[in-house]
Amino acid sequence: MAGIAGMAGRTGGDRRVRALRHVRARAPRSVLVEVLRRRRRALAVGCLASTVHQVCEALVPLAIGLTVERAVAGGDPGRMAVALGLILLLFAVLATGGGVSYWVLNRAVQQEAHRLRVAAVGRVLAAPGAAAGRTPGELLSVVTSDATATARVPALLTRVLSSVAALAVTAVVLLRIDVVLGLCVVLAVPPLVVAVDAAGPRLEARLRERQQAAGLTAALAAELVRALRVLRGFGGQTEAARRYRTLSHDCLDADVTAARASALVLGATLTATAAVTTAVVALAAVMAYSGRIGVAQFVTVAATAPFVADPVAGAMAALQQWAAARASASRLGPLLHGAPPLPRQAVAPARALAPAPAPDGGLRLRAVGVADAVPFSLDLAQGEALGVVAVDPAVASAFVEVLAGDRPPRTGAVHAGRTSPDPAHPRRLRRHVLAAPHAVHLFGRTVDEMLDSGREHHPARHARALDVAALGAVTAARGAAAAEPADGATDLSGGQRQRLALARAVAADASVLVLHDPLTAVDAVTEDEVADRLFTARRTDGGITVVVTSSPPLLARCDRVLFVGHDNIPVLATHPTLLDVPDYAETVLR
């Protein structure tokens, strides 16, 4: 029997809102800092090699000017050959530094992008709540394009630092030739950097909008592909195409707006740099004509001034891409770090919160509150089957999530096996409990691979699970369980895919198996047959089965049924007894 007791507790909503705001504020910065910290060795080597490359490139005009000076001064052929050899050596060092920097940094970017993808996917699999509010298509966009953009941070920082080093060398060369020429460069570059930095937040916002629009479009595309069979069934292709075109046009507008903003910033930067370069060359020509500087120095200035545009453009482009990386990190950060855990609720003492150790495979719920339901207590023994019916779908979903270890109960504790309940680590339930969600996701190319749940492989167990799910005819028609369905078994009907997911859950041979509406897409005859085979197999194995459903064939075969009606008060009884309750009968009778 279920003990029903009311529990009161604070929600802690204000603290959670403040914590969520803190997470959002620090997410981009913390993600970028973590990337730089993990790739600090590649950053150091790549930055050093890139700086050597840029400095050598800045010294090329000086080397050419000195060679011209020797030639004008009537240098002997031997010294000219040495000068040319030194220029070739300078180019060799320049090319080597650039090659090493490119290889090291791109390798680090690819490795970091892969790490971010794996971490994001692992987070979603380990804590599905981390992806709340995001569709599969949007998640795909985050873990691909956003992860790659975020991983480029070491290369972007290297480009900025090496460009600054090149500009410093260029300024020193010009200052040594003439102070006025050097000051033209030194005083002109900082305003350009400040102007681009001022435009950074607005550009970052445009880029974030573009990535958000792209993610939503990818999400809708993924959903439409998955639902194509259903759309064709009721003739919804036209409306689906219209919605996709609308969202695609919005994505195009956001992309054009972001490209226009980037082009405006880059174009203004290049125009200002070209103006500074032209002014410096013109001033050097006047100085050479007046005799203030020599011909060789004029050649050096004429070759150096155009070079200024390269590091400036490189630094500005890197700063723009940094804005894109921050925008991507703001989308990726919440997925990696997740929201802070719900604050522990204040729970009033209950006499059954510290039960005696349960028998192996047993399941005990003590003063457990889920969603808005009144807390209840419940014991399940080995081989027992429990049905759960809730008028409110949120209560049913929350019950599955609590047993799956995806979220802690609002009050109380769940005890499985001989382990002690740990409210701080609800995922430990997964050592005993396997919860199969209602949504079907099948992995692998063959039926055997789709039945693999990561536990020890037993062909006989797989064959038995297929028989429980009444899939023997399907595998026989394909020739064998190793036959290859289409990707994700999309060539199977909805009922066949649902039964294949049920077979995977049964083949895992879990001590406690939780099923959520496992047979909603099958016909009545097949549903009754599978229900009979399922509970017979589970009772034979001595496993506990919890089925959250409103299906009469499943509920009729359960030992007990837990019903949560409109009043949110759990009632525990048998299926025939509960049929006298109007709310229950209205929920389950078809």
All structural domains of the chain: 16-337 (1.20.1560.10), 363-588 (3.40.50.300)
What is d(CA 65, CA 301) in angstroms, rounded to the nearest whole number?
A: 8
Residue 586 identity: E
What integer pLDDT is reported at residue 465 of this predicted model? 87
Predicted pLDDT of residue 366? 87
What end-to-end distance do the CA atoms of the chain give, in Å? Answer: 28
Q: With helix as H, strand as E and coil as C, how does 210-272 read?
A: HHHHHHHHHHHHHHHHHCHHHHHHHCCHHHHHHHHHHHHHHHHHHHHHHHHHHHHHHHHHHHH
What is the Cα–Cα distance from 405 to 393, expressed in whole angstroms?
Answer: 19
Whole-number pLDDT of residue 428: 67
More confident residue, 161 or 212: 161
SS3 label, residue 289: helix
**424 pLDDT more than 60:** no
Query: Which pLDDT score, from 0 to 100, does residue 139 have?
Result: 78
Measured CA distances, 111 to 32, 101, 119, 152, 322 (Å): 15, 15, 12, 10, 19
Mean pLDDT of the chain: 76
Question: Alpha carbon 366 to chain centroid distance?
Answer: 36
Residue 497 vs residue 126, higher pLDDT: 497
Out of 21-25, 33-37, 454-458, which region has the weakest mean confidence (pLDDT)?
Answer: 21-25
Query: Which is it for the CA torsion 542, 548, 554, 560, positive or negative?
Result: positive
Question: Could you please report the per-residue DSSP string of 467-512?
Answer: HHTT-HHHHHHHSSTT---SGGGTTS-HHHHHHHHHHHHHHT--SE
Give the per-residue pLDDT at 299: 77
Which of 267 and 179 is assigned the larger pLDDT? Answer: 179
Q: Report the pLDDT value the prediction gives residue 513, as an integer from 0 to 100.
A: 92
Please state, in angstroms and as integers, the Cα–Cα distance from residue 427 to each residue in 395, 407, 431, 435, following that order: 19, 8, 8, 12
The average pLDDT across 423-445 equals: 73
**Measured between alpha carbons, how far is 385 from 400 in angstroms, rounded to an integer?**
15
Considering just the CA atoms, what is the radius of gyration of the chain in Å?
34
Q: With pLDDT > 90 as the criterion, what percentage of the chain qualifies?
A: 13
More confident: 420 or 87: 87
Stretch 448-453: mean pLDDT, rounded? Answer: 77
Q: What is the pTM of this model?
A: 0.56
Containing H/E element for 436?
A: strand 433-436
Mean pLDDT of the 574-580 span: 91
Question: Among candidates 474, 460, 587, 456, which has minimal Cα distance to 530?
Answer: 474
Structure tokens of 98? 């650039």
pLDDT band at 233 (very low <50, low <70, confident <90, very high): low
Q: What does each C-alpha distance from 292 to 135, 181, 304 come to in angstroms?
A: 69, 12, 18
Q: Are strands 385-390 and 544-548 parallel, antiparallel or unpaired?
A: parallel
The torsion region of residue 291 among left (phi > 0), alpha (psi -120 to 50) and beta comes to left
Cα distances (Å, whole numbers) of residue 171 to 48, 82, 301, 483: 20, 27, 11, 70
Q: What is the pLDDT of residue 421?
A: 55
Band the pLDDT of 114: cuts 50, 70, 90.
very high
> In angstroms, rounded to a whole number, what is the distance separating the alpha carbons of residues 53 and 96?
8
For residue 79, the one-letter residue type is R
Best-predicted range by mean pLDDT (45-54, 73-82, 181-190, 228-237): 45-54
One-letter amino acid for residue 546 of the chain: V
User: Residue 67's Cα: distance from chain center in Å?
Assistant: 55
- Environment class of residue 11 by beta-carbon count within 10 Å: exposed (0-12), middle (13-18) or buried (19+)? exposed
Which of 22-31, 479-488, 504-513 has the least mean pLDDT? 479-488
Q: Are strands 512-516 and 433-436 parallel, antiparallel or unpaired?
A: parallel
For residue 426, give every residue at least 6 positions away whose Cβ sits within 8 Å of its Cβ, in sequence order, or none. Answer: 402, 405, 406, 407, 408, 409, 414
**Residue 443 Cα distances to 450, 477, 493, 563, angstroms:** 5, 20, 16, 34
Whose CA is closest to 101, among 23, 151, 48, 33?
48
Q: Give the pLDDT mean for 312-336.
A: 79
Instruction: State the sign of the Cα–Cα–Cα–Cα dihedral 401, 402, 407, 409.
Output: positive
381 with 362: CB under 8 angstroms?
A: yes
DSSP string, 75-115: --HHHHHHHHHHHHHHHHHHHHHHHHHHHHHHHHHHHHHHH
At 19, the pLDDT band (50, 70, 90 cuts) reads very low
3-state secondary structure of 411: strand
User: Across the strands, what pairs with 435?
Assistant: 514
DSSP state of 91: H
CB 194 within 8 A of CB 203: no
The 10 Å Cβ neighbour count of residue 201 is 11
Q: Residue 2's pLDDT is what?
A: 35
| Residue 77 Cα distances to 41, 74, 296, 299, angstroms | 45, 9, 18, 21
**What is the share, in percent, of the chain residues with pLDDT greater than 70?**
74
**CA dist 494 to 397, 489, 537, Å?**
21, 10, 24
Q: What is the per-residue pLDDT for 419?
A: 58
Query: For 272-276, what is the mean pLDDT?
Result: 74
Mean pLDDT of 48-67: 84
pLDDT digits (tens, 9 = 90+) for 519-556: 888 888 889 999 999 999 999 888 899 999 999 999 99
Residue 284 CB-density burial (10 A; 0-12 exposed, 13-18 middle, 19+ buried): buried
Average pLDDT score over residue span 254-262: 74
What six digits make up the tokens of 147? 């992860």
Give the pLDDT band of residue 423 (cuts 50, 70, 90): low
Mean pLDDT to the nearest integer, 368-387:
90
- Give the mean pLDDT of 462-469: 86
